[in-house]
Structure 1
Amino acid sequence: MPPPGGTPDNANYDVLVVGGGPVGLLLAYQLKRFGVSVCVLEQHEKEMQDAYGRAIALFPRTLEQLDQLDLIEPMLQLGFACRTSVTYKDGERVVWTFMENIQDTTYDFVLVLRQMYTEQILREKLDAVGARYYHGMKCVDFTYDENLPRANYPIVSTFVDGGSGEQYQLRSKYLVGADGGHSFVRRHAGISFEGDSSDDQWIRIDGIVETDMPLNRSYGAIESKTHGNVLWAPLDHAATRIGYAYTAEIAAKYPGGVTQEVAKQEAIEAMKPFKVNFKEVHWWTLYNIGQRLANSFSVRDRILLCGDAAHTHSSGAAQGLNTGIHDAVNLGWKLALQIRDATKLEVLKTYDTERMTAVQQLIRYDKDISTLMSHKWPSWYEGDRNADPYHVLGEIFEKTASFNTGLGICYSENFVNQTSALSLRVPPGSRPPDLELSTPGTDQKVRFQHITRNIAKFWVAVFTGNINATRTPLRQLRKAYAGMRALPIDAFVSWITISASTGCSPYEALGMEPFGNTYYDATSCAHERFGFSLERGGIAIIRPDGLLATGGPLDGQFVEEYFSKVMQ
């Protein structure tokens, strides 16, 4: 059962999250799992909001992050795993292989699951970890007393019960605004929201449909000259979403405005030459396209923004929910470790800079995508304006494929992502390859992303190389390892050994006790993909969110120096 609405208990919390959408729920779930007290307050009655379709697509890197947090299984049970894509022009199929080219991940597909189901799963998970959640509670004020130390809960937030009108005040160390594009937290904190809205409008409509379109359970598009680049998205529970541009020419046909019947009728027109019949309509919406970005995602490192509260863009590349989840995952471990006095403040500060950079990149190409999908040319285009805009659209999607899947998102070197002491093939701040390894004894296949899935800890991965060549530095590392295991940082660091040698037991393969659990790299593929030679081996330090923090030699001093920089 999802957590009840109820009324707040006027308690003190480490973190208050304003907004009970998927981003706020996911952040709160992480924080509670990491041992942080947290409360979520949502202004809407969710029974009403759960009738809305909203975001639908979860891309591979997002799925990996959900897996790290033990959230993926119920979503796989409900969602539609889409592995094929198709585009039609004048009734003929055009080659488009975005889905088919997803590689180097267990999640080589896009999971399509309507947001109402995603939120339901997250509320149930939030309840399972014992976090507080209240709906129908609107944030109307908050103050921050900079003279109070953090331990005294310097943020006082006021909420009004939408039903009774009663007011509640809660104190916290941090306040996170995950309250959407019209965020009260952002406005009250004085954070500007810069950008613009275009005159372009799009319609999205969900339902159960019948069609004669081939490959109708593939993620697809119809290249229409009247309705833009028409979205065809198979949904969970055998439903389908159709999306199209509601142009001025179409709007002129309906002086009385848009109704469900209008949305349905124009969806049928948009899909021509294919026939479409709606058996059920579940949800529809008409909205304006635009891009906006907060000028900062934090104020004094105490009031923070996540998801649509920090940035909004079109649904053309289906990145809204994915980007918000990446925000929540990035912030979750940094905020939790800061609250637990494990890391220095500079670690938390990287949330703003890392996510700001990623969102700026998204907004830059989202403007082009949304314009081209409306069958218009971007202002910068200087080519033949009589040509087909959809050709350029296809080129942009191809160039940004790794960013769209999330697998290619990377962050610059900073306080957490530090220059590697070795010349590695995986840059600091980027996602390591999802390598296949094997377990001792059973020789079962396991993947690197799954091994390092405890998102509350840093991982130190020891790549042994050729044991005959690296035995001496491994023995020296062994002494440093024993010393570090006695330090307080041990609670936030886990170790694993990636052995290029195999044996009946890890001890016999290495000739010594391993560093944490051992996994065999019998083909040396893992060493090669990371860039560790068999003659030298090396160490990869993995951030709690699965990205590479840094890499270096088989040297205990290298490990100690890194953690002495980032940990308290």
Structure 2
Amino acid sequence: MTTAKFPVAVERAYDVVIIGGGPVGLLLAYQLARFGVSVCVLEQHNKETQDAYGRAIAFFPRTLELLDQLGVIEPMLQVGFACRNSVTYKDGKEVIPGRVWTFMENIKNTAYDFTLVMRQMFTESIFREKLQSLGAVYRQGAECIDFNCDEARGPEGYPITSTFNDKTTQTTFQLKSKYLVGADGGRSFVRRRSGIPFEGDTSEDKWIRIDGIVETDMPITRAYGAIESKTHGNVLWAPLDHGATRIGYAYSEAIAAKYPDGVTQEVAIQEAVESMKPFKVEFKEVHWWTAYTIGQRIAKTFSTRDRIFLCGDAAHTHSSGAAQGLNTGIHDAVNLGWKLAMRIQGVARQEVLQTYEAERTSAVRKLIDYDKDIALLMSNKWPTWYKGDPCADPHVVLGEIFEKAASFNTGLGISYSENILNQVLSHKNVCSLAPGSRPPDVELKMPGTNQSLRLQKITPNQAIFWVLVFTGSNNSRIRDQITSLEQYLRTAPKLIYCKSIRWLTIITGTGSSPYEALGRTPLGDAYFSSDNVTHDRLGIDSKNGAVVVLRPDGLVGASGHIRGDWIYKYFSGISCIDE
């Protein structure tokens, strides 16, 4: 409960208050501010004195696509290290083909065919600058000590009152908000204050991660590496920004027994050097290090009262074995951000916001299930399900798990089940894209210039749905279908003029004029798809055409024939166009 002794004045009211100014909280706030939602982020630490480097480092392709859609990727590319290669060493020899990180070398159907490696300090700095460029409020040194939700307040009010302690002035202040989001890490105050259980297990296994400038005689150094050690597990070698490197290894009971006084920086360095043998390693600089216990936990619910939400580590924690923590948190933030914004703006039904928990918990539980196996195998231990030769090489099984989970690791294969947003219609053989899945990032052409544009660049995350009308060039039957669709839309003007819906027409071939290629004015802007490549990749017959609805995060919502009835039914179920 609050420690304030006297009534505390409310400073201001916001649509959303976010507790936690790490990457997840900052990105969620930036996204909301970008969509016109008033938001305030509060971080209890002073970032100038908190750990300077370290923590999360890897951004996988789907995460990079989402960051691109939100307009934050370019400064990140200027700072980070784009890693397209991997290497595995065993007994000082390169393992060919490699294991564990080889999925990085086989990334297809995206402009981001690499993993961007950048330490969290730089990520947070970029996100803060982006957030503040929009005039959003960011406040550090402010610790949340209490919050309450007044259920009696109507949907247009500010039912949540949050109380904070300003660590600099030692004063207490309050904020009002419509929604509260906890992005405040594994020890989340928001989760604990809400009484949400944090279910899962914590093992006895410990890992160490250490970053710095190193010199080594290992042949390949600027690639994501796995060094298969008999004493230190599957050792991580990760090239970082600014020429730095991260080494990560298992701190086993046998190793810990050598140091009765516990882990120090000197111990972390010494064992990092041991873990890399027979290669020689020398640390020229140490930027950051940590020792931590491995475990997997997930909040029993990601929301309560439809007003308080959890994101990132506040909602789930796992090992860093697959480097998924930050990626998963960013996917949380993106998924929640546009749904919150559309609900606050009155264009989405409450049921849309409620899909956040179902969609994200399904992805997180899948991650936790295989993270348990990864964490054990990386520590040179066998999962309970393993019934094979106990003397076998666990690194081989580890590599097989990574190979099977490649599409999940890159994020390109993450999809969501059928719900109010992801609708499976009875329109068979119209499109090969499953609702709730990511479409391939196909290349389109600008009329006239034939400039190449990516689909996911044309349809950025703007808290709007994109209705893509796919058609062949000079196809009279499809032209008539589009005309009928437009006539239908005139009977439902709210559908075509709704601020949360935007239309695009994609035409096969190339041409100087969309009007002449289509034989009529297109719906929305038009782009060309040369040689039917786009239509083929999406499983669309250019002779029959199709309509594909994309959610604001770029995933497929539904697809079907060029008709207005099902389109109207889809949007009337999720939006407030009839209200």
TM-score (norm 2): 0.95
8 Å contact kept, 1:465–1:538: no
Say whether residues 1:540 and 2:548 are aligned partners.
yes
8 Å contact kept, 1:44–1:135: yes
Partner of 1:261: 266
% identical equivalent positions: 64
CA–CA distance in structure 2, aligned partners of residues 382 and 123 of structure 1 = 49
8 Å contact kept, 1:464–1:474: no
Say whether residues 1:34 and 2:45 are aligned partners.
no
CA–CA distance in structure 2, aligned partners of residues 497 and 484 of structure 1 = 20
1:110-167 C-alpha deviation (Å, 9 max, x unpaired) = 0000001000000101100111111111111111111111322011110011233211
8 Å contact kept, 2:16–2:179: yes
Say whether residues 1:526 and 2:531 are aligned partners.
no
CA–CA distance in structure 2, aligned partners of residues 90 and 552 of structure 1 = 56
Counterparts of 1:311-390 in structure 2, within 5 Å, are 311-390=316-395
Q: Secondary structure at the match of 1:544?
A: coil
Q: Tell me which of 538, 557, 563 is aligned to 1:555.
A: 563
**How far is 1:500 from its partner?**
1.5
Unaligned residue ranges in structure 2 (runs of 5+): 1-8
CA–CA distance in structure 1, aligned partners of residues 444 and 492 of structure 2 = 26
**How far is 1:488 from its partner?**
8.2
CA–CA distance in structure 2, aligned partners of residues 44 and 385 of structure 1 = 46
1:226-259 C-alpha deviation (Å, 9 max, x unpaired) = 0010000000000000000001111111111111
CA–CA distance in structure 1, aligned partners of residues 193 and 156 of structure 2 = 23
8 Å contact kept, 1:154–1:173: yes
CA–CA distance in structure 2, aligned partners of residues 513 and 481 of structure 1 = 15
Say whether residues 1:229 and 2:230 are aligned partners.
no
Counterparts of 1:207-286 in structure 2, within 5 Å, are 207-286=212-291
Q: What one-letter code is carried by the residue in structure 2 that aligns with 1:555?
A: R
Residues 26, 190 of structure 1: alpha-carbon distance in 2 compared, 3 angstrom cutoff: same
**How far is 1:480 from its partner?**
3.3
Partner of 2:300: 295
CA–CA distance in structure 2, aligned partners of residues 188 and 100 of structure 1 = 44
CA–CA distance in structure 2, aligned partners of residues 504 and 139 of structure 1 = 58
CA–CA distance in structure 2, aligned partners of residues 15 and 271 of structure 1 = 47
Q: Tell me which of 392, 405, 411 is aligned to 1:406.
A: 411
Partner of 2:54: 53
CA–CA distance in structure 2, aligned partners of residues 506 and 9 of structure 1 = 55
Higher deviation after alignment, 436-445 or 301-310: 436-445
**How far is 1:447 from its partner?**
1.4
Partner of 1:448: 455
**How far is 1:559 from its partner?**
1.5
Q: Secondary structure at the match of 1:153?
A: coil
8 Å contact kept, 1:421–1:553: no
**How far is 1:458 from its partner?**
0.5
Q: Secondary structure at the match of 2:89?
A: strand
8 Å contact kept, 1:208–1:239: yes
Q: Tell me which of 192, 206, 217 is aligned to 2:211.
A: 206
8 Å contact kept, 2:19–2:182: yes
Higher deviation after alignment, 477-486 or 117-126: 477-486
CA–CA distance in structure 2, aligned partners of residues 415 and 503 of structure 1 = 38
TM-score (norm 1): 0.97
Q: Secondary structure at the match of 2:479?
A: helix
Unaligned residue ranges in structure 1 (runs of 5+): 1-7
Higher deviation after alignment, 97-106 or 42-51: 42-51
CA–CA distance in structure 1, aligned partners of residues 315 and 322 of structure 2 = 18
Q: What one-letter code is carried by the residue in structure 2 that aligns with 1:540?
A: V
8 Å contact kept, 2:10–2:174: no
CA–CA distance in structure 2, aligned partners of residues 454 and 307 of structure 1 = 20
Say whether residues 1:93 and 2:94 are aligned partners.
yes
1:42-64 C-alpha deviation (Å, 9 max, x unpaired) = 11111122513100000000000
Partner of 1:395: 400
Higher deviation after alignment, 485-494 or 268-277: 485-494
CA–CA distance in structure 1, aligned partners of residues 471 and 94 of structure 2 = 50
Partner of 2:515: 507
Q: Secondary structure at the match of 1:523?
A: helix
